Chains A and B, each alone.
Chain A
Amino acid sequence: MKRHLISAADLTRDDAVLILDTAEEMARVADRPIKKLPALRGRTVVNLFFEDSTRTRISFEAAEKRLSADVINFAAKGSSVSKGESLKDTAQTLEAMGVDAVVIRHGASGAPYRLATSGWIDAAVVNAGDGTHQHPTQSLLDAFTLRRRLVGRDAGLGRDLAGRRVTIVGDILHSRVARSNVDLLHTLGAEVTLVAPPTLLPVGVGNWPCEVSYDLDAALPKSDAVMMLRVQRERMNAAFFPTEREYARRYGLDGDRMAKMPEHAIVMHPGPMVRGMEITAEVADSARCTAVEQVAGGVHTRMAVLYLLLGGNEPAVSHARTEETK
């Protein structure tokens, strides 16, 4: 793990397992009367959100506060950003206020990478989702949920997801969640299959470390977990698929399809769900659907990431940094 968390592809297998193990310890704190840890006391974290995402922002905020960090929320709307201020100036302004870490959500792919590597600021950068590129903490919380459900809460400690079969279904082309999950799940030893209509798969997907299929029904019986991605209705207008009904019929998960999955298999969804589109209410509300669990896991996982990045004088690293600026 480097000083920043930009892409799930940057994590080694051991880094990822360390984060998941740490997240399990963080989860235990949630059961205590005082759900707070002193690890980030005196550290200031800014949540710099250029895109609306209340869910992700709240999850990070809860994680930061449980670790006793001082939290600043910065939403681009109604701020200097909407008056044309550049990302660079915004970041430098925040750093001048003594920020130790920037959690950034941005509509442009690569914006967090730019922030971390351009020399604009010294603070640690955590990517909370950039364009259609990466959403590393989402993939970590998904892996956290997968390991709990498929390996076990205690039995999973120190272990990866070797041999588990995960099928990701939906708008892969526009999905940072899919990209992060392909990278991380592959690193953790899982076998990933992407299922989507060809229009919603990127050109170049053949180089990804996963299988690709157009046929959901064929993939279901071989899946330990099926991750349904949100499909935005607007995509229909850009001719990615003909109608909502046809999409749901070919790629939506309903009760009949769920019955084709193995007994132990789970249904995941990063939320927000579009019921009736990629998932029916019957599936969304079933005991096999882990959407709510994933949200809880999100706080624990983000606590783990923030602790490991900011808790010491340098991150918990597999390759030591030589100089420390913060």
Chain B
Amino acid sequence: MDTDVSDAARPVLEGPDIARVLTRMAHEIVERAKGADGVVLLGIPTRGVFLADRLAAKLAGITGRRIPVGSLDITMYRDDLRLRPARALARTDIPADGIDGRLVVLVDDVLFSGRTIRAALDALNDIGRPRAVQLAVLVDRGHRELPIRADYVGKNLPTSLRETVRVQLEEEDGRDAVLLGERRETGAPAAEDRRPEPARTGER
């Protein structure tokens, strides 16, 4: 992904900002879900999983209870599966008690076209029947192509299609930041949430 972001990328959120917005989102989840009863957090690999883990920790701090957390790989449900080389799969890890009758909160780093989330909803369908599904994202950069919105947003970040948004997290990248940069080459970003990545990185 590094190659997709120009050197001039500038941070719009730094480490402390990210910690703060995650705390706020955790409180919003507790408030909306009335104490986070029956909540299951499912992160979308790769960075959504780390964000889900962090949210789960904060929820546990607030509620004093352990919140089930897992991961949901959407690779095989993507609508652009056949447009690119076959990709390595990421981990799908559903908490032991499953998702039937639960409130599943999907967690991802950036909400863009909405296609990733549509794929996640399809993937969920093959796993069980939640009571409800909500969506938490660290950044909503706009440009939706499907009727999808987030329930919990860390930061709304109006962008142009020429810009790139890149989330860095300590667990994967060695530091926390949200970077806004210029796309190097112009190209239609319409079909995807993110620029193409090499098939072997384990990312979507």
Q: Determine whether A18 belongs to the interface, using a CB cutoff of 8 Å to chain B.
A: yes
B122 contacts A38, C-beta separation under 8 Å:
yes
**Bound: A310/B200 CA distance, A:** 16
Q: What is the distance, in angstroms, from A166's C-beta to the closest C-beta of chain B?
A: 26
Interface residue B157 (Cβ < 8 Å from any Cβ of A): no
Report chain A residues within 8 Å CB of B66: none
Residue of A nearest to B119 (CB): A38
User: Do residues B81 and A316 form an inter-chain contact, with CB atoms below 8 A?
Assistant: no
Chain B contacts for A318, CB-based, 8 A: 200
Within 8 A of B (CB), among A137-167: none
Cβ-based interface call for B73 (8 A): yes
Could you say which residues of chain B place their CB within 8 Å of the CB of A317? Answer: 85, 199
Q: Which of B73, B86, B122, B126 has the most CB of A within 10 A?
A: B86
Q: Which residues of A contact B89 (CB under 8 A)?
A: 21-22, 25-26, 307
Identify the closest chain B residue to A158 (Cβ).
Answer: B202
In the complex, what residues of A have CB within 8 A of residue B81's CB? 39, 311-312
- Tell me if A264 is interfacial: C-beta within 8 Å of chain B: no
A9 at the interface (CB under 8 A from B): no
A residues within 8 A CB of B85? Answer: 312-317, 320
A33, A34, A38, A310: the one within 8 Å of B86 (CB): A310
The 0/1 profile, CB within 8 Å of B marked 1, for residues 4-38 of chain A is 00000000001000100110011010001110111
Best-surrounded residue of B81, B85, B126 (most CB of chain A within 10 A): B85
Contact of B92 among A14, A18, A28, A308 (CB under 8 A): A28
Complex Cα distance A30/B199, Å?
24
CB-CB contacts of A35-75 with B at 8 A, as 1s and 0s? Answer: 01111000000000000000000000000000000000000
Whether the Cβ atoms of B127 and A308 lie closer than 8 Å is no
- Whether A225 sits at the interface, judged by CB under 8 Å, is no
Return the 6 tightest CB-CB contacts between A and B, nearest first. Answer: A312-B86, A311-B86, A39-B76, A316-B86, A25-B89, A312-B85
Could you list which residues of chain A lie within 8 angstroms of chain B, going by C-beta atoms? 14, 18, 21-22, 25-26, 28, 32-34, 36-39, 307-318, 320
